[in-house]
Structure 1
Amino acid sequence: MMVEFVIPGEPQGKGRPKFSRQGNFVKTYTPEKTENYEAHIKACFMASGAGMIPQGVEIGMEITAFYSIPKSTSRKRAALMRDGLLRPTKKPDYDNVAKVICDALNKIAYYDDAQIVEAAFAKFYADEPRVEVRFWKINERR
């Protein structure tokens, strides 16, 4: 069972938790931008029509992030970026992009992201920014 879906828009990373003091207590919360992006990821997954992978099943995942080409880039450099010869080294880091996706899919695509035992991640430039996500049951690889 291979599940594939696309998250349109510029790739975003998982935001750091925020803290606020309320009297003698400290409240921890997720930034609104991260919550909105996680909701967007969930909606994209649900639109794919895929079901949930049961608890205890090992999962492999592949995430490919496509960043927009900066407007100030020369035509020559933009062509190299489109061909995958120049790759993004900018933020967000790969681990933060993967973290927000894996966390958003908890309880809707799989029971827990601890089931992911194999993963690959790549960053490229493209005219249309997006994130492509693929995952599968390990024993049914591709």
Structure 2
Amino acid sequence: MKIIFNIEPVEQARPRATKTRKGIRLYDPQKVATYKKQLGMMCKFQYKDKPLDGPLIVSLKFYRHIQSSVSKKERELRITGAHRPIVKPDTDNYIKSTLDGLNGLLWEDDNQIVKIVAEKYYSDRPRIEIEVERLEQNEDERGGTGAKE
């Protein structure tokens, strides 16, 4: 299954903390919280089924905007994929915020993901492309259930 979310990817930032009467409460920064909420709404609109269960393989492609300050030549290299983003934010922070935003919607919990491939690209149309497939038992490279014997 492939789903495209037309939204600028946002990296998972460090959680913020505040004191309460009951102790310390951690929460996402506003930018991350808004991103997760928007991603969830987009998912509900595009994916109407129950969340997937069982082991999953997920492929993510993050397309971020091209800065307006780059030359026409560099812009073309970025659009064609010849030059890829090797700057912050890190790919793993994009992964974390995106997977968390889809918990309970596309899959029951992101701990079901047993294999993940993630890539960053530049584009005039920022978006996230996600492909999800179930891992069938016979696809396990070790040939077993993964349990220690």
Name the TM-score, length of structure 1 as normaliser: 0.87
| 1:50-89 CA distance string (max 9 Å, x none) | 42112xx110001101111111111111111111110111
* Structure showing greater Rg: 2
1: distance between equivalents of 2:111 and 2:21? 36
1:49 to 44, 47, 50: 47
Task: Give the corresponding residue for 1:28.
Answer: 26
2:134 to 126, 137, 141: 137
How many equivalent pairs are there?
137
Query: Given the superposition, is the C-alpha separation of residues 71 and 123 from structure 1 closer, same or farther in structure 2, using an over 3 Å criterion?
Result: same
Task: Give the corresponding residue for 1:93.
Answer: 90
Q: Which runs of 5+ in 2 are unaligned?
A: 140-149
Residue 10 of structure 1 and its aligned partner are, at CA, apart by 2.2
| 1:11-59 CA distance string (max 9 Å, x none) | 11112111122468322222222111111111121121342112xx110
Answer whether contact 2:12 2:32 (CA < 8 A) is retained: yes
Residue 103 of structure 1 and its aligned partner are, at CA, apart by 1.0
What is the CA RMSD across the aligned residues, in angstroms?
1.9
| 1:69-126 CA distance string (max 9 Å, x none) | 1111111111111111101112221111111111111112212111100110111111
Amino acid at match of 1:86: H
Q: Percent identity?
A: 27
Amino acid at match of 1:13: E
Q: Does 1:40 align with 2:38?
A: yes
Answer whether contact 1:6 1:44 (CA < 8 A) is retained: no
Amino acid at match of 1:95: D
1: distance between equivalents of 2:131 and 2:90? 19
